[in-house]
Amino acid sequence: MVTPADKLASAHETTSFGEAAAKRHWIDHAARTTAVLAVLAAVSSGQYANQFSRTILAQAEASDQWSYFQAKSIKRHIVTGQVELLKALATTAPQAAAALDKLQADDAAAVKKYEQELAEAKAQAEATEKQKLLHQRQGNWFQGAFIILQAGVVLCTVASSAKRKELWALAIALGLAGLALVGYGFVIGLHP
């Protein structure tokens, strides 16, 4: 015969088992959340490394373009100086004026060519610097996302081990914030 005390004990065991299952249920979700946050953190970290590399390469390319610009500028100044020298020589040596006029025309054409090349080199260097700044900005967003996502991973782990559901909720909030930063990092790359 089952006594009322036995029924009460049985009901208490069932309730305890049900509560344990409910606790276990959210802890299982917290473990899955940890895995998702870790994957997002890995994606963010990879994108940060990618953008960092692109920034360095763009900086090197921009430096090369500015060096090229400087070399062309020096050549233009040399040729401009030669043109002025030829003008001065033409006034002091009229017998060589015809030969000097031809040299002056050649140098004037070279100056025009250098000015065109300078404009192209400057435009290329400025475009490359804009790309570098974009890669830097994207990298900063990915790095921030990585930090936030890692904090979420840590909070999920602590929430599971301490059985603190509010920490799990905070980890989810950090995960959403990190996901938003990752998304924004990709979006600014689409619309420079």
- Domain assignment of residue 43, given as a range: 30-190
Assigned domain for 70 exists = yes
- What is the total count of domains within the chain? 1
**Which helix (H) or strand (E) covers residue 65, if one does?**
helix 4-92
Assigned domain for 170 exists = yes
Query: What does R_g of the chain's alpha carbons equal in angstroms?
Result: 35
Assigned domain for 108 exists = yes
Assigned domain for 73 exists = yes
Is the confidence at residue 104, as pLDDT, over 70? Answer: yes
Nearest CA among 134, 147, 146 for reference residue 188: 134
Greatest alpha-carbon pair distance for the chain in Å reads 138
Instruction: Compute the average pLDDT of residues 120-125.
Output: 90
Q: Residue 68's pLDDT is what?
A: 86
Assigned domain for 178 exists = yes
3-state secondary structure of 73: helix
Assigned domain for 58 exists = yes
Is the confidence at residue 105, as pLDDT, over 70? Answer: yes
In sequence order, what are the residues at sequence separation of 6 or more whose Cβ sits closer than 8 angstroms to the Cβ of residue 146? Answer: 41, 44, 45, 48, 178
d(CA 58, CA 63): 8
Q: What is the pLDDT of residues 151-172, one digit of tens each?
A: 999 999 999 999 999 999 999 9
Q: What is the pLDDT of residues 33-70, one digit of tens each?
A: 999 999 999 999 999 999 999 999 999 999 998 898 88
Q: Which tokens in the block code for residue 157?
A: 């782990």
Assigned domain for 9 exists = no
Assigned domain for 11 exists = no
CA angle 139, 35, 25 (to 5 degrees): 145
